[in-house]
Structure 1
Amino acid sequence: MSLTTASPATVARPTSHRRGNPWWTLACVALGVIMVGIDGSVVAIANPYIARSLHASLADLQWVTNAYLLALAVLLVAGGKLGDRYGRRLVYLIGVAGFAACSVGVGLVGSITGVIVLRTLQGAFGALLMPNTLALLRSAFPQEKLNQAVGIWGGTSALATAAGPIVGGLLVEHVSWESVFYINAPIAAITVVIGLVVLAESRETVRQVLDGLGLVLLAGSLFCLVFGVVEGQTWGWGAPSIDGLLAGGAVLLVAFGLVEAKVHAPLIPLRVIAQRSVALGTVTVLLTFFAMYGVLFFVSLYLQNVHGLDPVGAGVRTLPLTLVFAVSSPLGAWLTGRFGPRVPIALGLGVTGVALLLLLSLEPGSSYVHLWPSFVLLGIGIGLVVVASTDAIVANAPADEAGIAGGIQTTALQFGGVLGTAVLGSVIATVVGSRLVGDLTHAGLPHGVAAKFQVAKELVAQGVAPVPKGAPAALAKVVTTGSHQAFMSGLHEALLVAAVVSFLGAIAGLFVSRGEHREGALPVIG
């Protein structure tokens, strides 16, 4: 096995007591992952209801998602470091309780400003929760079982994400939009009770001063970079504000590196990220979720806006991806244990690239048979990569930096998703802008009339046909045909970009090695 863990010789675990029991630890960690996974995918279902109930604008709804995403992405490494410093069990349970409390608050607050503020806090607590899940697993499982546990961890996340739109759709239709957020309360209560009983505490062996300056610089850098990427399409790539944010993020990141090289107890020791396999593992995580989230976002728009499905129907049709992901994660664990992370990363990203190329056959009228085989292949590919890349990152970090390693992994995952959605969205928007008038003309509109629809290119880039209200059926058909063809051209270009990114990630995976710190043991404290 590759991932570092406490060896049985180092930590004596009483067989008669549940505290520190690996499988109870996995159950507790899985509940936290379920809570975050469901929450992440139900918000899109709740947004239209939030808009009507709280009179929210489109910009408000974007911030309901983006405020959470920003706080989560910016603070993940800090959350891992706090777990290393003060105890992973303590920080994890605080994250669980705070996440649920903010979630309930979202349903109770009664104003869109309050919702956005609480979603920001929810993201901050999520950043305490997520990176410490991996560190807790690492401290609890023996080496021969840890990759299997990480596989189940990844599969649980996939199932929760898949269940989100279905559960959310049922709740908003039959109960209320607030109930989508209240559901976290009972899950969190169960998690905290189990956690207090079964989780063993672990932390760094040598207590070090918290690197406050490094924390501020890293958080500022990630905020500028993530915010710039999120708003790039809205404000316009090349706009002075976006260029300033991205440049500022890069400058702060350089300053962070300079500080980390000088301080006695750095937030992220440069020796960790300087290791080839940690760096490549981080890159492969980022590229994997660049492809996955970017493609899923726009294929979901295809299902809803081109095929006319509701969000629940679209969610059901993506189940082959998430269900196979859940099954293939344990396979990824077995391959990682047998061959190291190199084989499953290269194989998984290669399969992902092939799946994306197969989706190039999609047309506006394509049946589901053109989708589900690619979803199955995507599920296989991503399931293989998640476990193996986690091994590459965590097992190459010293035991005392397990929380930091988890923070690096989850930050790469989140940033990859943000980058994929933004970059592929820009690809689609650019192609739609260049093709829309020509496709409408080819569909039957006079060129002068078609040119007037150019102002609706942002809607078309989401798969929406901008049919004028009260338009005759013949005109509606022509506008729909031309608009959907322009969207499909953009989607095909985005899929091609994502496939190339996946193949590049597969090549990078060939240079990843087994973990170098398998012998390190995490101290179990109680």
Structure 2
Amino acid sequence: MTTTTAPSATTERNLRGSPWATLVAIAFGVMMVALDGTIVAVANPAIGRDLQASLAELQWVTHGYLLGLAVFLITAGKLGDRFGHRRMYLLGIVGFVVTSVAIALSSGVIMLVAFRILQGVFGALLTPAAMGLLRASFPPHKLGRAFGVFGSLLGGANAAGPIVGGVLVSGFGWQSVFYINVLIGAVAVGLGMWLLAANQPTDPGSRFDAPGVVLLTIAIFALVWALVEAPSAGWTAPVTLVPLGVAVVVGVAFVLWERRPADPLLPLAIFRDASVSIGVVLMVLMALGLMGSLFFITFYLQGVAGLSPARAGLQLMPLMAMMAITSPLAGRLLDKVGARVPTAAGLVLTAIGLFMLSRLTTDTGIGYTSVGFVLLGAGLSLVMTGATAAIIANTPMRFAGVAAGVQQAAMQLGGSLGTAVLGAVMSMTIISTLPGHYSDAGLAELGAEELSAAQSQVAQGGAAVPEGATAEVARAVTEASHLAFLDGMQLAFGIAAAVMALAALLSLAMRPSTHSEGPVVHI
């Protein structure tokens, strides 16, 4: 006769706080934040109809979340170091769920945007804490695979966002994309309470750098605001230049201030390690390549190639799938050979993928674009995992949360920079080449105001077809507009590919981790 016994208390203690148990515990929280970054885009049209919101107001449904997230990331990382990452992680989940419910119950777009900003703040509290928990739980020789799985979770959730959002909005209304966070959050809290080790601050004796928090918050807020406004208002518009000026001045003041306190918000000494500084630069460039390419390739697939939104989403699956699949493999590779070679290889693959996409035409086949997406996805996952490891593994354990906040802030700012800078390249190219394509097609010359109005539509893969135009004129305008769009996209992606190739040389200067502290002992 065989008997079974319940798991012993010793077994449960061994499970709680173990590296892979910690990774399982944070998975749902991390995916909830990543999912929310893409799922809302599908809900925006329904939100606009229900709340009678303008296009500008709808844009702030996304921009508000980005502002709240980017502005608070480094401060949130510092709070995790001081008060414990477990505590900040659970607080972030609860706050994220509560604000999600508040968003779903909003009766007006202003209220909704306000809660989206607050939701971004709680998302910022959650993400660096999750990475800090990984840094404290995994031994140095396994950190790479931990960050690889972390990247896979982010990539998978981002890829699932539009699909899940479409199903939820179609069946249950736009509010459901926020209510779903109640279920995910409940699982995340339950797993966190069960599997995460006792709360253990890594820098408990540090003082709170209030002036540093204020200065950094203003600087990042102004920078993100400028990057958000630049694509539509232009880089020379006051709404762009003024916040850029504020960001520079206050940013310099922040750096000067951080040299004074004994416990600064952002210890500048961590950037003396070349690998940390290079990792931050590479994280910005990785996000620039990812978000910049996704932003414009979507317009290409739907506007120029004429695919439906569903087919365009399927066409992007090779990119997202490769990021989800390659990230864990990249992590294992990093543990064996270090970050330098895999990161350099990833940047080369990214450069090749972007170069391939820069050669797209109006009739490029699915096979060619899929190969480009596969190379881009594999390369970006190697870069993301390598840069993350370079930043966090080379930072002392006591600053693990700050390092995670820096990594996440670099990724958010890089994404904004990608759409803003590549968008500027697109706009300038379209303005300069569209008249020539009109002339070649035998169309009437565009006036200055007509060219300015047409540029916005062309940059989104569309065409400014005049009302009442014949089928022949409409076809000529469309073809000329698509050629101008391709001119802009080809130049933008070509520049991005060249930047990635140069970054591959920079990545070779990274060194192995100099901080070999093992996991924090929780008592």
Cα gap change, 1:188/1:230 in structure 2, threshold over 3 Å: closer, same or farther?
same
Contact residue 78 and residue 399 of structure 2 kept, 8 A: yes
Q: Supply the distance in 2 between the matched residues of 1:418 and 1:261 (Cα, whole angstroms).
A: 28
Q: How has the CA–CA distance of structure 1 residues 130 and 483 changed in structure 2, closer, same or farther, with 3 Å as cutoff? A: same
Task: Say if 1:357 and 1:496, in contact at 8 Å, map to a contact too.
Answer: yes
Alignment map for 1:501-516 (pairs within 5 Å): 501-516=499-514
Mean Cα displacement is larger for which, 21-30 or 481-490? 21-30
Of residues 281, 287, 290 in structure 1, which corresponds to 2:285? 287
Task: Give the stretch that moved more between structures: 496-505 or 411-420.
Answer: 496-505
Provide closer, same or farther for how the CA distance between residues 454 and 256 of structure 1 changes in structure 2, counting only shifts above 3 A.
Answer: closer
Q: What is the aligned partner in structure 2 of residue 7 from structure 1?
A: none
Aligned match of 1:3: none
Q: Which of 92, 95, 106 is the matching residue for 1:98?
A: 95
Is 1:149 the equivalent of 2:154?
no
1:159 matched to 2:176: no
Q: Which moved more, 1:214-223 or 1:100-109?
A: 100-109
Q: Aligned pair 1:16/2:12, yes or no?
A: yes
The C-alpha deviation readout for 1:211-238, integer Å capped at 9, x for no partner, is 1111111111111111111112222212
Gaps of 5+ in 2: 1-8
1:472 Cα deviation from its structure 2 partner: 2.2
Aligned-partner Cα distance in 2 for 1:76–1:205: 17
Residues 172 and 205 of structure 1, relative CA distance in 2, 3 Å threshold: closer
Conserved 8 A contact 1:73-1:411? yes
State the match for 1:187 in structure 2. 184
Distance 1:421 1:325 in 2: 20
CA offset at residue 182 of structure 1?
1.4
Aligned residues: 513
Residues 241 and 431 of structure 1, relative CA distance in 2, 3 Å threshold: same
Q: How does 1:136-285 map to 2 (within 5 A)?
A: 136-200=133-197, 201-285=199-283
Q: Which amino acid aligns with 1:84?
A: D
Alignment of 1:41-440 (within 5 A): 41-200=38-197, 201-440=199-438
Alpha-carbon distance in 1 for matches of 2:520, 2:346: 30
1:38 and 2:35 matched: yes
1:254 offset after TM fit, Å? 1.3
Cα distance in 1 between the residues matched to 2:172 and 2:441: 44
- 17-26 or 266-275: which moved more? 17-26
Instruction: Supply the distance in 2 between the matched residues of 1:452 and 1:16 (Cα, whole angstroms).
Output: 70
Structure 1 pair 470–180 and aligned structure 2 pair: CA distance change class (3 A): farther
Letter in 1 for 2:286: T
3-state SS of 2:511 partner:
coil
Q: Match of 1:92, SS? A: helix
Alpha-carbon separation, structure 1, partners of 2:497 and 2:183 = 40
Deviations 1:358-409 (A, max 9, x none): 1122112222122100110011111111111111111111100000010010
Aligned partners of 2:449 and 2:12: how far apart in 1?
75
- More displaced, 386-395 or 134-143? 134-143
- 2:140 touches 2:393 (CA, 8 Å); kept in 1? no
Contact residue 139 and residue 524 of structure 1 kept, 8 A: no
Residue-by-residue CA offset, 1:459-508 (whole Å, 9 max, x unaligned): 11111112234432212111111111111110101101111121122111
| TM-score under structure 1 length normalisation | 0.94
TM-score by length of 2: 0.95
1:378 alignment partner AA: L
Q: Is the 8 A contact 1:95 1:129 kept in 2?
A: yes
Compute the displacement of 1:443 (Å): 2.3
- Provide Cα deviations, 1:147-177, integer angstroms capped at 9, x if missing partner: 2121111011101100111111122222211
- Paired residue secondary structure (1:20): coil
1:406-462: CA deviations, max 9, x gaps? Answer: 001000000000000100011101111111121122223133689845522111111
Please list the CA deviations of residues 26-50 of structure 1 after superposition, one character each: whole Å capped at 9, or x if unmatched. Answer: 1121111211121111121111111
Q: 3-state DSSP class of the match of 2:374?
A: helix
- How far apart, in 2, do the equivalents of 1:100 and 1:316 lie? 30
Q: Percent sequence identity over matched residues?
A: 44
What is the CA distance between 1:272 and its match in structure 2? 0.8
Deviation at 1:520, TM superposition (A): 5.4
For residues 97-152 of structure 1, the C-alpha deviation after alignment (integer angstroms, 9 at most, x for no partner) is 11122122222112111111011001100100111111111222233433212111
The SS at the match of 1:362 is: coil
Alignment check: 8 A CA contact 1:351 1:381 kept: yes
Contact 2:224 2:416 in 1 (8 A): yes
Q: CA deviation at 1:14?
A: 5.2
Q: Displacement, 1:205? A: 4.5
Q: Letter of the aligned partner of 2:370 in structure 1? A: W
Q: Distance in 2 between matches of 1:145 and 1:196?
A: 24
Write the distance in 2 (CA, Å) between the matches of 1:296 and 1:469.
31
The alpha-carbon deviation at position 307 of structure 1 amounts to: 2.7
Decide whether the 8 Å contact of 2:346 with 2:380 is kept in 1.
yes
Aligned partner of 2:484 in structure 1 is 486
What's the counterpart of residue 8 of structure 1? none
Q: Distance in 2 between matches of 1:452 and 1:90?
A: 56
Cα displacement (A) at 1:523 = 4.3
SS at match of 2:258: helix
The structure-2 alpha-carbon separation of the partners of 1:448 and 1:347, relative to structure 1 and needing over 3 Å to count, comes to closer
Q: CA deviation at 1:206?
A: 4.2
1:58 deviation in Å?
A: 1.1
CA distance in 2, matches of 1:309, 1:33: 31
Distance 2:256 2:22 in 1: 38
- Once the two structures are superposed, residues 310-368 of structure 1 have per-residue CA deviations (whole angstroms, 9 ceiling, x without a partner) of 43332221111111111111222122112211111111011100111111221122221
Instruction: Please list the CA deviations of residues 165-212 of structure 1 after superposition, one character each: whole Å capped at 9, or x if unmatched.
Output: 111112222221111221111000100011011111231244111111
Give structure 1 stretches of 5+ with no counterpart. Answer: 1-12
Render the CA deviation track for 1:228-280: whole Å, top value 9, x for unaligned: 11112222212234222112111111111111111011111111122211100
**Aligned 8 A contact 2:229 2:239 in 1:** no
State which of 481, 497, 514 in structure 1 corresponds to 2:495: 497
Which deviates more, 36-45 or 196-205? 196-205
Secondary structure at 1:475's aligned position in 2?
Answer: helix
